[in-house]
Amino acid sequence: MSFSPLIRQLIEALRTLPGVGPKSAQRMALHLLERDRSGGLRLAEALQAAMHGVGYCNRCRSLSETEVCRLCTDPRRDDSLLCILQSPADVWAVEQAGGFNGRYFVLKGNLSPIDGLGPDEIGIPALLAQLEQREVAEVILATNPTVEGEATAHYIASLLKPRGIRVSRIAHGVPLGGELEFIDGGTLAHALAGRTLIS
């Protein structure tokens, strides 16, 4: 069936959301129209405010609605630790996990020559410029453990080591709660190679 124009446009617009197919979009549109019009209007306002108001932090380059984000201006955080990530989602994930109290720097993705993403495109020059201005004792490379993420981590390490900065990589291994029998061979090999002594 063809819906009336406004309903059809709403269903199509809802499908731009990730993970929303035609059936869910229809259910969402109906829910808003039948049961929660004020919620629908609130969502419209929140979308407009965020799409226009959220930019990028000048320092860590994560999403921010101020020139420098809250995490970069927080005086309680440790300036000597810099964690390098490949997307704002990763900053959120690390913050939600807790336990890290340093600063962040967000790359625009990973090195991927095949997609035309070289050091300049992902923001390496800005990273180096920041490291010259700030006193960072250790850089933690937390790009994803994919081929591109590993290549990016190695590339950055090769740039920073000659400058006398300590460079570390997040641990790879068996996730908590994981069962060895269901874990892929690559992860298992990493977990064995990266074993630590029990003191």
Minimum gap (Å) between residue 172 Cβ and a second copy: 23
189 makes contact with a second copy (CB under 8 A): no
Total residues belonging to the chain: 199
33 makes contact with a second copy (CB under 8 A): yes
Beta-bridge mates of residue 138: 81, 166
Helix (H) or strand (E) holding 157: helix 147-160
Amino acid at 74: D
According to CB under 8 A, which one of 77, 87, 123, 138 is a site residue for a second copy? 87
Helix, coil or strand: residue 177: coil
According to CB under 8 A, which one of 39, 118, 175, 194 is a site residue for a second copy? 39
Minimum gap (Å) between residue 70 Cβ and a second copy: 6
68 makes contact with a second copy (CB under 8 A): no
According to CB under 8 A, which one of 50, 129, 147, 171 is a site residue for a second copy? 50
Q: How far apart are CA 186 and CA 164, in angstroms?
A: 31
Q: How far apart are CA 178 and CA 194, in angstroms?
A: 17
Q: What is the Cα 60 distance to its own chain's centre?
A: 12
Neighbours of 192 (CB within 10 A): 10
Give 40 or 145: the residue with its C-beta nearer to a second copy.
40
> Which stretch in 1-9, 73-81, 164-172, 182-190 sits in contact with a second copy by CB under 8 A?
1-9
> Which stretch in 50-58, 114-122, 146-154, 155-163 sits in contact with a second copy by CB under 8 A?
50-58
16 makes contact with a second copy (CB under 8 A): yes
Q: How far apart are CA 128 and CA 120, in angstroms?
A: 11
144 makes contact with a second copy (CB under 8 A): no
Q: How far apart are CA 106 and CA 82, in angstroms?
A: 10
> Which stretch in 57-65, 127-135, 168-176, 183-191 sits in contact with a second copy by CB under 8 A?
57-65
Q: How far apart are CA 102 and CA 177, in angstroms?
A: 27
Residues near a second copy (CB under 8 A) are 1, 3-7, 9-10, 12-14, 16-19, 24, 26-34, 36-37, 39-51, 53-54, 63-66, 69-70, 87-89, 92, 95-96
